[in-house]
Amino acid sequence: MAKPAITLKTIADQLGYSVSTVSRVLNGLADKYRISKETQEAIKDAAQRLDFTPNPLARGLRMNKSNTIGLVIPDISNPFFSSIARNVEHEARKHHYSIILCDTDENTALEIESLQLLQNRKVDGLIMLPVGQTSQHIEKVYQTGMPMVIIDRYFKDVDIPYVASDNYKGAFEAVSYLIQSGHTTIGCIQGLRHTMPNSERLRGYIEAHQYYNLPVNERLIVGDGFGEQNGFLETKLLIRKEKELTAIFALSNLISLGSIRALKEEGLRIPDDISIISFDDQPYSEYLSTPMSTISQQNKEMGQIAVKHLISQIDSTIRPSGEYVLLSTKLIKRSSVKILSASKNIIKQINRGVVSMQ
Amino acid sequence: MAKPAITLKTIADQLGYSVSTVSRVLNGLADKYRISKETQEAIKDAAQRLDFTPNPLARGLRMNKSNTIGLVIPDISNPFFSSIARNVEHEARKHHYSIILCDTDENTALEIESLQLLQNRKVDGLIMLPVGQTSQHIEKVYQTGMPMVIIDRYFKDVDIPYVASDNYKGAFEAVSYLIQSGHTTIGCIQGLRHTMPNSERLRGYIEAHQYYNLPVNERLIVGDGFGEQNGFLETKLLIRKEKELTAIFALSNLISLGSIRALKEEGLRIPDDISIISFDDQPYSEYLSTPMSTISQQNKEMGQIAVKHLISQIDSTIRPSGEYVLLSTKLIKRSSVKILSASKNIIKQINRGVVSMQ
DNA sequence: TCTTTTTGAACAAAGGTTTGCATAGAATTA
DNA sequence: TAATTCTATGCAAACCTTTGTTCAAAAAGA
């Protein structure tokens, strides 16, 4: 059933040349080794005819290169991640790399295991979407010389190239929009604390308040996880405890889904009773019970840029330093934010220059 | 920077044994080759101390096995597929296989390319979620002896093991529910025609009509694609042309999203003006403008079963025949289907046995 | 003491590539 | 004609494992 594989030797024997000559022709080194035109033709023909493809295992063994990229992702079933994965795969394929997929289930232990696995498998590089709370295990791998780029949850003070959204600006814009719409008591439901995207979004939240001379109420900043459950729980608690609350800033798409569920259970309407704005735009965002205003990220570009950067890293001998790209976000206004009448005052104040522009 | 890799030779040299002895000990063949206890201990210790892991490329080359499974998927950013992918990855990892991911972009040409690629890469087996319109290229690969299992879009008269939902029953149940709710003019927006899931769902649609002695109106069966755009367009056309229409059966999650958009644009409310029920339950289904009634599939199980089956295929020498599993679906009733008053008649008729039970 | 068996391990080939070096014959130069 | 330079290719090692076979030394048997 299993036919004998077509190898260089098959061609060499059939044509009466040596394996090395065949290899050279097929690798475009014919001229360098001045192999005659006729020989070249004959070999190329035979290769085509026999449908020869080099054995990647043998080649990898010899060249110490597998043409393979490890993609480590916290949860491929989260649409934010899967759309990145999709573009990573397409871009990698363009450059003749294949993707080995590891889903870490938002679990650092599994992430460590995956890193180990991929190193053993001799991938040429790693695209990491880390869980994000600790980075030592990742740094350790990077320091062995493994080319790497991090997407989304990068780390402070860790000099590994990354590409992410400008989470600070995105959050600043979202919260500014809320404030300009007249909201002054805005709940912030965080994702995983001590991850950079979260910290930066939080900073955006805080600085937007300061920019508009609004006090920051610590009690409004809650939660610790990007998942739906966290959004649900924290929303329930918030609306019970904070009677003044008029708006929620959800730091991920899943969190906002949880919020919606909680608000519905409590019989609160969006945006009439509570306004909501969320990070991450999703295909379904506009179809939700109330079409959701969101901060959309360029995840297609993230994947592409990451792959391009990784490959240039693989092909180069010098280690990059301080290389990163921050992609801009976009505020998508739909109907989940209510314009409160009070907003007019604030807008007026801005126009009059009462609220300082820093 | 790149440290010399730890190989069998490293250990052999350090201990003064030969490479073959080291290999045997580390592969548990020590007793078979009666290698002394002390030698075994020494070698195992050294391996541990040096953190040795066998080079998978060399091993793969020698053994003709890569411990790698190719996963071919039409669109990883579609949540239906990505949740399957996730479970495939987890299950494969349990069995020490890694996943090489290929996203075919719902494009048969890319699917052919992917198959080629994965064969070249010497994967040990293939889990296919085919585009589904043609199968020759897949059969050809299967006939080379490549272990394979198909998920979701399997083929009629093609003897490759598959796991899928019982699409017929699911559709039958969905449409029955609509009919029992009093709907008699039900649009059916199809996915990709001539794919099995589509044909089976369509059959369910038709037979449910027959079961309730309702005529099947060909004009109500429209569309050709699992995407959002198809749902949008066909819904627009349907509501213009079919004034009697009271319900839509959408054959995929994306189609239903498109339908929602179209209905909204036309100012029609769900379910007051038009009821809708959709194949594929999604995490966001219950958060939609009108929480959607759906037919949910067991996609977690699909992934697991597929991997288990594939691995048993890899480990066995005999070719499977006629092996497949059909997973049951579940009707999830939310609020996108309106109970029409007329329904009482039908239900009464059923109770009275006027509508035959086949 | 000499032969046979057992023990414990080494040798070498194979799997398919790539690549530095060597070489036989032809062409050129002196 | 002898020495030199090209031309067109082959040889063999290396990458790291696995595995069938061989073999020396020790132990056992006669």
Pairing of strands A221-222, B68-73: unpaired
B320 Cα distance to chain centroid: 20
Q: What angle do CA B328, B280, A129 make, to 5 degrees?
A: 115
Cβ-based neighbour number of residue A270 at 10 Å: 23
Q: Which residue has the tokens 């709370």?
A: A133
- Which nucleotide's C1' is closest to B5 (Cα)? D16
What 8-state DSSP symbol labels residue B277? E
Spanning CA of B88 to C1' of D7, the rounded length in angstroms is 56
Q: Which residue has the tokens 């059969």?
A: B139
Given this model, what pLDDT does residue B342 score? Answer: 54
- Which nucleotide's C1' is closest to A35 (Cα)? D8
Given this model, what pLDDT does residue B306 score? Answer: 98
Residues B150, B160 contacting (CB under 8 angstroms): yes
Nearest to B253 by CA among B221, B286, B222, B220: B286
Query: Which residue places its CA closest to the C1' of nucleotide C10?
Result: B18
Orientation of helix B167-180 relative to helix B343-352, angle to 10°:
110
Regions in chain B scoring below 70 on pLDDT:
1-3, 342-358
Residues ≥6 apart with Cβ < 8 Å to A324: A154, A161, A162, A163, A164
Give yes or no for CB of B5 within 7 Å of strand D: yes
Superfamily of domain A65-165+299-329: Response regulator (3.40.50.2300)
Q: Which CATH number fits domain A167-296+331-352: 2.40.160.20, 3.40.50.150, 3.40.50.1820, 3.40.50.2300?
A: 3.40.50.2300
User: Which residues in B lie closer than 8 A to residue A90 (C-beta atoms)?
Assistant: 103, 105
Spanning CA of A36 to C1' of D3, the rounded length in angstroms is 27
B354 Cα distance to chain centroid: 39
Positions 57-116 of A with beta carbon below 7 A from strand D are: 58, 61-62, 64
Pairing of strands B221-222, B186-189: parallel
Q: Which CATH architecture has domain B8-62?
A: Orthogonal Bundle (1.10)
- Which nucleotide's C1' is closest to B39 (Cα)? C8
What backbone phi and psi angles, to 5 degrees, belong to A134?
Answer: -130, 155
Q: Which DSSP string corresponds to B84-113?
A: HHHHHHHHHHHTT-EEEEEE-TT-HHHHHH
A174-211 in b/e burial notation, b at 16+ Cβ within 10 A? bbbbbbbbbbbebbbbbbbeebbbbbbbbebbbbbbeb
Best mutation target, B71, B72, B97, B98, to test chain A (most A CBs within 10 A): B98
Residues B126, B147 contacting (CB under 8 angstroms): yes
Given this model, what pLDDT does residue B341 score? Answer: 72
Tell me if B57 and A61 make a contact (CB, 8 A cut-off). yes
Backbone φ/ψ region at A298: left (φ over 0), alpha (ψ -120 to 50), beta: beta
Given this model, what pLDDT does residue A342 score? Answer: 54
Tell me if B79 and A79 make a contact (CB, 8 A cut-off). yes
- Work out the burial of residue A31: count CB atoms within 10 Å of its CB; fewer than 13 is exposed, 13-18 middle, 19 or more buried: exposed
Pairing of strands B330-332, B293-296: antiparallel
Positions 14-33 of B with beta carbon below 7 A from strand D are: 19-20, 23-24, 26-27, 29, 33
Give the closest of B55, B76, B288 to A288, CB-based: B288
Any idea of the CA torsion for A243, A336, A229, A224, to the nearest 10 degrees?
A: -70
The residues of the protein lying within 7 Å (CB) of strand C read A 5, 7-9, 19-20, 23-24, 26-27, 29, 33, 52-55, 58-59, 61-63; B 16-21, 33-36, 38-39, 58, 61-62
Given this model, what pLDDT does residue B180 score? Answer: 97
Q: Where in chain B is the domain with CATH 3.40.50.2300?
A: 65-165+299-329, 167-296+331-352
Sign of the CA dihedral running B209, B214, B220, B221: positive
Spanning CA of B23 to C1' of D18, the rounded length in angstroms is 8
Residues A300, A163 contacting (CB under 8 angstroms): no
Residues B223, B234 contacting (CB under 8 angstroms): yes
What 8-state DSSP symbol labels residue A288? B
Closest-CA distance of chain B to residue A298, Å: 14
Spanning CA of B34 to C1' of C1, the rounded length in angstroms is 30
pLDDT along chain A (358 residues), means of 10: 80 94 94 91 95 95 95 96 97 97 97 95 97 95 96 96 98 98 97 95 98 97 96 97 96 96 94 97 91 96 97 92 95 96 52 41
B184 Cα distance to chain centroid: 32
Closest-CA distance of chain A to residue B40, Å: 23
The one-letter code for the residue type at B144 is: T
Query: Which residue places its CA closest to the C1' of nucleotide C12?
Result: B20
**Distances from the Cα of A47 to the Cα of A7, A33, A138, B77, angstroms:** 9, 19, 42, 37
Residues A43, A21 contacting (CB under 8 angstroms): yes
Best mutation target, B72, B82, B90, B300, to test chain A (most A CBs within 10 A): B82
Tell me if B89 and A83 make a contact (CB, 8 A cut-off). no
Nearest to A10 by CA among A61, A73, A55: A55
Nucleotides of D under 7 A from a protein CB: 7-12, 14-21
Best mutation target, B71, B77, B102, B263, to test chain A (most A CBs within 10 A): B77
What backbone phi and psi angles, to 5 degrees, belong to A249?
Answer: -110, 110
d(CA B358, CA B51): 67
d(CA A104, CA A113): 9
Residues ≥6 apart with Cβ < 8 Å to A137: A108, A111, A112, A115
What 8-state DSSP symbol labels residue B355? S
Spanning CA of B32 to C1' of C3, the rounded length in angstroms is 27
Q: Where in chain A is the domain with CATH 1.10.260?
A: 8-62
**Distances from the Cα of B238 to the Cα of A313, B216, B222, B335, B339, angstroms:** 53, 15, 8, 22, 21
User: Which residues in A lie closer than 8 A to residue B93 (C-beta atoms)?
Assistant: 102
d(CA A265, CA B74): 37
